[in-house]
Structure 1
Amino acid sequence: MLLMINGGSSSIKFALYKQSEIPEKILSGQISKIGFKDIKFSFSESNVPEKTSFPAIVNSYASAIAYLISWLEKQVDLKKINAIGHRIVHGMQYLNPSFITPALVEELKQIIPYDPDHLPNEIQLIEVFKQHHPDTIQIACFDTAFHQTMPRVAKLLPIPRRFEKSGIHRYGFHGLSYQYLLQALERIAGKVAANGRVVLAHLGNGASLAAVHHGSSVDTSMSFTPAAGIPMSSRSGDLDPGVAWFIMKTEHLSADEFNHLVNHESGLLGISETSGDMNDLLKQAEKDIRAAEAVDLFCYDIKKRIGAYAAALGGIDTLVFSGGIGENAAIIRQSVCEGLAFLGIELDSKRNHANQDLISTDEGNVSVRVIPTDEEGMMAEIVNKMITDKAKQ
């Protein structure tokens, strides 16, 4: 068996797979809203359509990890797991997935300042699983690796060149999701479509877009950290540096306090003043102008990115919506695509509201698709190949 662990800033997703040529999912779930009052544990089995959900009695990320391991050990014999795959959000110079060694863990600890919201939790997950199951192979799957193909001009940040020596440039994230979506696009629409000019929109609590050509990343909205790009649930997205200076100065904020503000108090939550959850905002939009404006800004910024990436790609052949919002919110897809007919993007309203795979009109020049993403599934493929290749050596 293979176990995939996807540690977020306030969640832990997991998926268990039967090892075969194509890994077969047995069980999956997550602990969500860690650090909040309503922490939930949910899971589903592959042969049972309904999801089981209940409150999780945990009060920290460390206790959530212990809770997850204890629960997993009651479901399966973890000694039968051949490898554990971990999603590592920030990989710096790592271009390929890597077997986790003490040296790699130490390197990850050194770059915690690059991603203080994710790396400490991901390192903690690695170390706790190591303590409980020291002989099990662990593999790091880096979310930044997909974007290493971006041209240098897309990676450069317009700050003094000396900072580049410290590794400060555009990295991009959601790489495992984008890698999966390209594979899924090829299965659904063929190689020509997957190798064409594609814009991928991963829209969830964390949200980003990527421009892809010939199967390689050309540009992406997230930058040095996942806080950049379009507005997200509680992340600001791109921000005028003068605003940062003004807020820190007038509010007397430390660097850590400002980092918390732009990652946990901003975005949809900051604009609406009520919620960072898109479902909540859509329900409130008719009665609350703040919620309506949060939704409008989200869609407007995505629309601008699509236009920018069409320019970077020299046109667009396929637009893919994914992530919790992208897969389920027809009204968001509709709002994003309104006014983009000049690019050849035209939605079929019935297809869109039915959440069909292909939601564009037959007359439109751009195929617009809804494809559910599967980061854990992508990780399982990567891990399976690595341990299979290792066994052949």
Structure 2
Amino acid sequence: MSATRVLVLNSGSSSVKYQLLDMAGGAGERLASGIVERIGQGEVADHTAALKRVAAELAAAGLGLDSPALAAVGHRVVHGGTRFTEPTLIDDGVVAAIEDLVPLAPLHNPANITGIKVARELRPDLPQVAVFDTAFHSTIPEAAARYAIDAATADAHGVRRYGFHGTSHAYVSRAAARLLGKDVSDTNAIVLHLGNGASASAVRGGVCVDTSMGLTPLEGLVMGTRSGDIDPAVIFHLSRVAGMSTDETDTLLNKRSGLLGLCGDNDMREIGRRMGEGDERAQLAFDVYIHRLRKYVGAYFAVLGRVDVVAFTAGVGENSAAVREAAMHGLGGLGIELDTVRNALRASSEGASGGSWGGGPPGGSWGRLISAVDSRVAVAVVPTDEELEIATETYALVSAAPSDVPTAPIFRS
């Protein structure tokens, strides 16, 4: 039996999400998926117990971790800094280097590392691969990556734009090109990943040239609970006039801002319901969200020069017709004309199986067009699949000839 299966693990602070995919023929057939939650509470004492539960669930389905069909484990790692710009085979040095990057992602990298360590203990003989959220954005030019602060200070402390949601932006930019029937190398895309966390990217020929998130996932678009772009002096002002500490301001901007801070809700469905009832706070939150989104779309038109497709993805992007319509409204001057009927339809009612709706891979679809037939710029809804992207990158790495496997430089600070 050839080894073609990849187990994808996303280890959070209190949960472990997993998917097992068969990469034979590049199809990425999903064999199993699940989540173990409430780690540290009740029956799941720690990540070791969580991973053992994952193994037990897979074994019960006849897909055990001891199967010779399992080729590798792919791990989502949030922050790779400037050290990791591509999928990387994990060894002790790589683990140590990811630990060095914890100050850049103190909420995420520690949990990712724990998942890696436990998985390596369970299957020390199996190739394990780290796939970094920041890697796809490592191609942005210095003019986009640099903040205009003292260069020596920035270099000493790793202060620059890294970007996040990279696996989603990579997958969606390629899927959008396929939806248009174009080669990704000849496609310029603006990708709008709109979930509770939200980010935009400008992708030229499959290569990211700009992205909205920065040193951390706080910068950029208005999000569910994060402020996005804000005058940095607000932090100093709140320190002086409100006596807020660094930790209190961090909590304010990351957990009590965005849509939640503006109207008390971070669920776009609930905000839409409230808007329908004439709720002014909900309407304002929606308007601020859309205003910021449109600013980034316009900015990335300027960055790219030519745009072939604007692709909406993630929970809000895939499911909120109101957000898509408001974001694209009045952009005819940029060549964007939305088809409001297509936009309002749910994917399940369209049967996106070919023609103008776009075909897709076996077992799925690359997405659907919602732009008017005569729109110069296509607008698409492209369901993201970060797990498939991680599995694809992992399998490509472990399947490569030894001389083709990249060795990431490890610099210990």
Please indicate the TM-score interval, normalised by the length of the shorter structure: 0.7 to 0.9
2:361 is aligned with 1:360: no
CA distance in 2, matches of 1:337, 1:355: 18
Select the residue among 19, 22, 36 that pairs with 1:18. 22
The equivalent residue for 1:71 is 57
Q: How does 1:192-341 map to 2 (within 5 A)?
A: 192=183, 195-273=186-264, 275-287=265-277, 288-341=279-332
2:30 is aligned with 1:28: no
Deviation at 1:215, TM superposition (A): 1.6
Deviation at 1:28, TM superposition (A): 2.3
CA RMSD after TM alignment:
2.6
CA distance in 1, matches of 2:207, 2:60: 42
3-state secondary structure, aligned to 1:191:
coil
Of 198-207 and 22-31, the range deviating more from structure 2:
22-31
Kept in 2, the 8 Å contact 1:355–1:370? The answer is no
The equivalent residue for 2:361 is none
The equivalent residue for 1:85 is 74
CA distance in 2, matches of 1:255, 1:66: 38
The equivalent residue for 2:338 is 347
Kindly provide the amino acid, as one letter, of the partner of residue 74 in structure 1. Answer: A
Of 21-30 and 325-334, the range deviating more from structure 2:
21-30
**After TM superposition, where is structure 1 displaced by more than 6 Å over at least 4 residues in a row?**
59-63
Give the TM-score normalised by the residue count of structure 2: 0.83
Kindly provide the amino acid, as one letter, of the partner of residue 27 in structure 1. Answer: A
- Structure 1 pair 31–281 and aligned structure 2 pair: CA distance change class (3 A): farther
Deviations 1:348-374 (A, max 9, x none): 111001145110111221110111111
CA distance in 1, matches of 2:76, 2:179: 26
Select the residue among 82, 91, 97 that pairs with 2:87. 97
CA distance in 2, matches of 1:391, 1:25: 27
Unaligned segments of structure 2, at least 5 residues:
348-367, 405-413
3-state secondary structure, aligned to 2:192:
strand
CA distance in 2, matches of 1:261, 1:68: 35
Deviations 1:75-124 (A, max 9, x none): 33111233110111111121111011111111111111101121111111
The equivalent residue for 2:108 is 118
Deviation at 1:317, TM superposition (A): 2.2
Larger RCO: Structure 1 or Structure 2 (Cα < 8 Å, ≥ 6 residues apart)? 2
Of 75-84 and 299-308, the range deviating more from structure 2:
75-84
3-state secondary structure, aligned to 1:235:
coil
Kindly provide the amino acid, as one letter, of the partner of residue 227 in structure 2. Answer: S
Deviations 1:239-262 (A, max 9, x none): 111111122344433333322322
Number of matched pairs: 373
Kindly provide the amino acid, as one letter, of the partner of residue 380 in structure 1. Answer: A
- Structure 1 pair 8–345 and aligned structure 2 pair: CA distance change class (3 A): farther
Deviation at 1:297, TM superposition (A): 1.4
CA distance in 2, matches of 1:69, 1:278: 36
Deviations 1:282-328 (A, max 9, x none): 22223432222222211111111000111111242211111111111
Kept in 2, the 8 Å contact 1:193–1:317? The answer is no
Deviation at 1:10, TM superposition (A): 6.3
CA distance in 2, matches of 1:141, 1:259: 27
Deviation at 1:69, TM superposition (A): 4.7
Select the residue among 182, 195, 206 that pairs with 2:173. 182
The equivalent residue for 1:369 is 380
3-state secondary structure, aligned to 2:213:
coil
CA distance in 2, matches of 1:98, 1:234: 32
The equivalent residue for 2:411 is none
Give the TM-score normalised by the residue count of structure 1: 0.87
CA distance in 1, matches of 2:270, 2:43: 25
2:386 is aligned with 1:378: no
Percent of pairs with identical residues: 37
